[in-house]
Structure 1
Amino acid sequence: MSESATNSKEDSVGRDSADGGDTVVADDSHQPVESRRAFDTNRWVGATAVAFLPVGVAILFGRRPGLLLAAVVGIAYVAYARSGEAPVPDLRVERELSDDTPDGDDEVRVTVTVTNTGESTLPDLRLVDGVPPALAVVDGSPRHGAALRPGKRASFGYTVTAVRGEHEWEPMQAITRNASGSRERVSAVDAATTMRCLPRLDSAADIPLRGLTTQYTGRIATNVGGSGLEFHSTREYKHGDPLNRVDWKRLARSGELATLEFREERAATVVALVDARQEAYLAGDQGEENAVERGVDAASQVVSSLLDSGDRVGIAALSAEECWLAPGVGNDHRARARQLLATHPALAATPGDGKFFPSIRLRRLLRRLPTDAQVVLFSPLADDYPVSVARRLDATGHLVTVVSPDPTGEETTGHRLATAERRNRASRLRQAGIRVVDWGDEPLATTLTTATRRWSA
């Protein structure tokens, strides 16, 4: 296969049939075929010189039938190699997914069928499917080679691992060659296919919130007296106070009417802020989840837990793309949060190429944050910018907790230096009174439980 037909995915043995299960077919009988370029393959480089060599020898040494015959044969080969352009393909692509809405880490079988709908034979057809960059091929190959007569079809299949997000297949690359292989044409065949993987919003991670609360009833104990569970104080009885809050023991003892006050428990307003800049797409080893993916997974768990507790929750991102979901509650808000965490381009599994403006993004975030909101920042602390964001938010009255997935390693001197720098950033935040959760390889719920014990000690 020529260099133009290479693909970044790992190649392995192709398959011709799909596994069982429900299928989703992307089929367009009038698919556009975009012919991008045609060029020489240089397969017959030197053949012309070799073919005319007997002619030159015959001229130098006289007319010899054997040399002339060899020259004629060589010239015939050159004419064959140079004759004919690479055919323009007329193809129909059908792409089937075993599941177009899988859960994270599910394996999805992709079956591709290509039909030659044109009137010309394609003697050398090479196909490279446009697998979305965030999906890893774990079985089979997205490449296939075939020779197709008019009306004939070829099928191949491969398996990908589902990851959070909305993934669209890119146009299939079709490389056609003429019979001699001397000319090659690269074309693109589109067949719209989308796979959507939504996070489950499991509430396994219960993050301890701080004292900044709203007027809504919730789970956070305050220093405000009222209706609650924990005793706070007593005050003089007022007409209309409920009888179940009258201090009957004091009345029996002294004859004075008094009303019991309990420590109120109120809801919090929380914004989950994900650091999704290009600098945050880091992973300890190749093949591991990057820090942005881990941050979105942690945000999904925390958002679900907070919504279950009756807190008002919003979502934002430090990213080139605008990303904002105002704090809210209820099932409809939960569905919007789940959709945003799964499909918003700011939280994609792979970094985008947009321009990020640090000061503009922070100013917009500060304008949008409710005055009573606290922030949970999910960031690997890969540079100083998230440190400045956390300190700026804290300085403007928004209590901040940082959950930091650790993408560093100890294998090389560079890794160890990055680890030390990250620890220094976390230390600076703690010295400023900002809570930092250093999240390593263990489950997030375990890390948060350990951090809670340390904070309450």
Structure 2
Amino acid sequence: MSNATATAEEGATDGAVSNYGQRVSAAEDADDLVVEQDRRRTGRWRGIVAVALFAGAVGVLAARPFLLLATVPVAAFAAYPRLTGSPKPTLAVERTVDDDTPDRGADVEVTVRITNTGRWPLSDVRFVDGVPPMLAVRDGSPRHATFLWPGSTTEFSYTVGAEYGRHQFDPVTAMLRDVSGGTELEATVESDPATVLTCTDAVPEVPLRKQSRHSTGRLVTDDGGAGIEFHRTREYQKGDPMSRIDWKRYAKTGELTTVEFREERAATIVLLIDARQSAYRASAEGEPHGMAYNLAGAEQLLTALGETRDYVGLAAIGRQFCWLAAGVGIEHEVTARELLATHPVLSTVPPDEEPPDPDEQAAELRKRLSGDAQVILLSPLGDEYITSLALTLEANGHPVTVVSPNVSSDASVGARLASVDRENRVSSLRQAEIPVIDWTPDQPLGTSIVDVMEVEQ
């Protein structure tokens, strides 16, 4: 459940009238918060005013008083938005879901309750709930229109289908018009705490490649030392631990030998998210785009890596550069999740244009990557640039694994050509010995990872 309170304009003086209804109380609203995004004239009365002026002129010239009088109501409505005080609606939103951890494909009912906590009636208000882009509305509608008296509450519900990932609802958008319909105000109502729907599928194992920092972890190396998997035996050296002496061999031969195991070291992994314009392509209109799957995949990988001792960082390239240095622990994981949910470059809304110079962001990424860091790149592989970046990182000594959600389709000739281009990029990466998890979104990411690991074995 989440609650939020917000208002949509600066205060009015005592006794003022709101454009959105007659004022109920003359008291000051000193504690209101501004959430207005856009105010505009609708032009609703523009044509009628022209007709009224023409009729008034005819009435004057033809000495017809009734024509002149008929223009008075129209002129009053047209002048109403300009003569009255500034609007100040205040809204409180409560959003609930009947199951915040559903199974994939399950129906989840979302209920939104909106209360007019201000002092003006809202004569024409329309709401659009912020449905996460990966959740399709199956029943009902996230849109609602109503009239709200002060203190009254309206409620509407709709049903979404659960998909894998962690889905945070966006704020409610409110569109308000005054009584005359001449002025329209667009505002958002933030939710605090945010409403989050989590549909997780356990990733059994994150595919890592051999390169790690010298601290104990789960990545098996070719170096001998402390560990679990047997590596070799060697001649005893002074100072070797007693627990690693091969006592059975000593009993048979009288020779002191030391057993070495394959060392397990902590890996340093950076989850790199492709958030450029090409990542926002979808298989069809209304379907989740590649960026939505990138974020869902990053959430699942972050959960899986959080259960290990590995050091995990986060980066993204897109409308701006995003970076979180590799770390470990619960607090670091919480910080990473907050970054996934709030950083502008990780928005589910497509950018208007490509960043001016993605090479600058790529150079910054290479500068910040530690020498032993490996990269898990999440990208639908929508163009050649991201393929070139993966090859460059690999050549610079940073092992790369690509997780690529397949959002291609065969709905048109252009779509089929784009699908072939993507297949060629996957092939070129694999030829360069870069593992590619070809993730078909209709199956869990964990299943796709297991399929690739079984083929490689």
TM-score by length of 1: 0.78
Residue 111 of structure 2 corresponds to: 109
Name the amino acid aligned to 2:115: T
User: Any idea what the Cα deviations from partners look like across 1:289-346, whole Å, max 9, x if unmatched?
Assistant: 2211111211222222223122111111122233211112122222222222222222
The one of 71, 94, 107 aligned to 1:97: 94
**CA gap 1:323/1:43 in 2 versus in 1, 3 angstroms:** same
Q: What is the RMSD of the two structures over their aligned residues, measured on CA atoms?
A: 3.5
Deviation at residue 420 of structure 1 after TM alignment? 0.4
Q: What is the CA–CA distance in structure 2 between the aligned matches of 1:159 and 1:391, rounded to whole Å?
A: 48
Residues 3-402 of structure 1 mapped to structure 2, 5 A cutoff: 24-27=3-6, 29=29, 30=32, 36-37=40-41, 39=43, 40-43=45-48, 73-84=66-77, 85-87=79-81, 88=84, 90-99=87-96, 103=100, 107-114=109-116, 117=119, 125-129=123-127, 131-132=129-130, 134=132, 139-140=140-141, 142-146=143-147, 155-159=153-157, 164-165=167-168, 167-170=170-173, 172-178=174-180, 184-188=182-186, 193-194=191-192, 195=194, 197=196, 203-353=202-352, 356=355, 357-402=357-402
Name the amino acid aligned to 1:432: A
Deviation at residue 244 of structure 1 after TM alignment? 2.5
Residue 3 of structure 1 corresponds to: none
Tell me, what secondary structure is at the counterpart of 2:371? coil
Higher deviation after alignment, 285-294 or 393-402 = 285-294
Deviation at residue 353 of structure 1 after TM alignment? 4.4
Tell me, what secondary structure is at the counterpart of 1:208? coil
Q: Percent same amino acid at aligned positions?
A: 34
Higher deviation after alignment, 157-166 or 244-253 = 157-166
Q: What is the CA–CA distance in structure 2 between the aligned matches of 1:268 and 1:274, rounded to whole Å?
A: 19
**CA gap 1:337/1:240 in 2 versus in 1, 3 angstroms:** same
User: Any idea what the Cα deviations from partners look like across 1:342-362, whole Å, max 9, x if unmatched?
Assistant: 222221222244762211110
Tell me, what secondary structure is at the counterpart of 2:182? strand
Deviation at residue 55 of structure 1 after TM alignment? 10
Residues 424-439 of structure 1 mapped to structure 2, 5 A cutoff: 424-439=424-439
8 Å CA contact 1:90, 1:117 repeated in 2: no
8 Å CA contact 2:227, 2:264 repeated in 1: yes
Q: What is the CA–CA distance in structure 1 between the aligned matches of 2:68 and 2:151, rounded to whole Å?
A: 36
Tell me, what secondary structure is at the counterpart of 2:414? helix
Structure 2 residue runs without a partner (length 5+): 8-28, 103-107
Higher deviation after alignment, 317-326 or 272-281 = 317-326
Q: What is the CA–CA distance in structure 1 between the aligned matches of 2:367 and 2:352, rounded to whole Å?
A: 26
**CA gap 1:51/1:41 in 2 versus in 1, 3 angstroms:** closer
8 Å CA contact 2:124, 2:145 repeated in 1: yes
Name the amino acid aligned to 1:269: T
Residue 443 of structure 2 corresponds to: 442
Q: How many residues align?
A: 411
Name the amino acid aligned to 1:217: T
Structure 1 residue runs without a partner (length 5+): 1-21, 60-67
Tell me, what secondary structure is at the counterpart of 2:397? coil
**CA gap 1:344/1:202 in 2 versus in 1, 3 angstroms:** farther
Q: What is the CA–CA distance in structure 2 between the aligned matches of 1:37 and 1:142, rounded to whole Å?
A: 22
Deviation at residue 417 of structure 1 after TM alignment? 0.9
Higher deviation after alignment, 74-83 or 301-310 = 74-83
User: Any idea what the Cα deviations from partners look like across 1:164-220, whole Å, max 9, x if unmatched?
Assistant: 3473445x3322244xxxx72234567554535386876424222111122112222
Name the amino acid aligned to 1:42: G
8 Å CA contact 1:165, 1:342 repeated in 2: yes
Tell me, what secondary structure is at the counterpart of 2:248? helix
Q: What is the CA–CA distance in structure 2 between the aligned matches of 1:80 and 1:374, rounded to whole Å?
A: 72
Tell me, what secondary structure is at the counterpart of 2:339? helix
Greater Cα radius of gyration, structure 1 or 2:
1
TM-score by length of 2: 0.78
Q: What is the CA–CA distance in structure 1 between the aligned matches of 2:153 and 2:253, rounded to whole Å?
A: 92
Name the amino acid aligned to 1:37: R
Q: What is the CA–CA distance in structure 2 between the aligned matches of 1:352 and 1:339, rounded to whole Å?
A: 21
8 Å CA contact 1:166, 1:342 repeated in 2: no
Deviation at residue 113 of structure 1 after TM alignment? 3.2
Q: What is the CA–CA distance in structure 2 between the aligned matches of 1:340 and 1:104, rounded to whole Å?
A: 21
